[in-house]
Every structure is written in structure tokens, then in C-alpha cells.
Amino acid sequence: MFKNVLIVGLGGFMGSIARYLTYILIDKRFPSIYPVSTLTVNVIGSFILGIITGFLLKNNIPNDTMRLLLAVGFCGSFTTFSTFAYENLFFINQKLVPTAFIYIFVSLTLGLLAVFAGHWVGKSIL
């Protein structure tokens, strides 16, 4: 049990650093009122999670270490639903309701497409 906690923690450590670096790179290059960096990490994280789950399913890997490290730890800390929710609250409080709905629609659509595409890649190519 303690080993699994450490594995998830290691993945979370790597994922949170990757998220922070992504924010720095995107926000400095593309300053915008739109939360481009959050959208980016959530879509990329969905794609990575799809790859991991597809790969594990295809290869019938019984070892839980890879899933805990990458899916739970890394993807869990790399992606950010709470920031996504807060950004939508900000849009709504600023009376930018259409912007919030567009952001919600784009995030959900791209996130779902990314996880399906990643799952296909993980099952078919890897």
C-alpha cells in the first residue's frame, strides 16, 4: 500500500511540474483572456490517459505500477478540473456567459476526442 502511495506521488510530482512548465510556456507566448494553458493541459492529459489505458488494455498488463504512476499520478496532477471550473466561474461573474459556454463545449469536445484518439493509439499502434 505504501509503495503504491509513493508511486502515485512520484507521478503526481512529475505531472504537476509538467503542468507548471506548460503554463509558463503558453501564457508567456500567448497572453489571452482565454485559458489556453488549462485547455492545453486538459486535452494533452486526456490524450496521454487514452494512450496509457489503450496500451494497458491491449497488452493485458496486470502490473498496476504503470497505471498508478502515469494514469493516476501524472495525468491526475497534470490535468486540472478545478482550474477549469474556476475559470468558468470567472467568465460567468464577468458576465461573459457565452464565453463560458464556448469554453465548456470546446474543452469537453476536445478532451473526449483526445482520450478516444489516445486510446486508439495505445491499442492500435503501441
Q: Which of 124, 117, 8 is nearest to 57 (CA)?
A: 124
Residue 65, annotated ligand binder? no
Question: Using CA atoms, how far apart are residues 88 and 70, in angstroms rounded to an integer?
Answer: 28
Tally of structural domains, the chain: 1
pLDDT digit string (tens) for 71-122? 999 999 999 999 999 999 999 999 999 999 999 999 999 999 999 999 999 9
- Residue 107 CB partners (closer than 8 Å, separation 6+): 39, 42, 43, 84
- Any binding-site annotation on 73? no
Length of the chain (residues): 126
Domain membership of residue 56 as a residue range: 2-124
User: Residue 60 — very low, low, confident or very high, per pLDDT cuts 50/70/90?
Assistant: confident
Could you give the percent of the chain with pLDDT greater than 70?
100
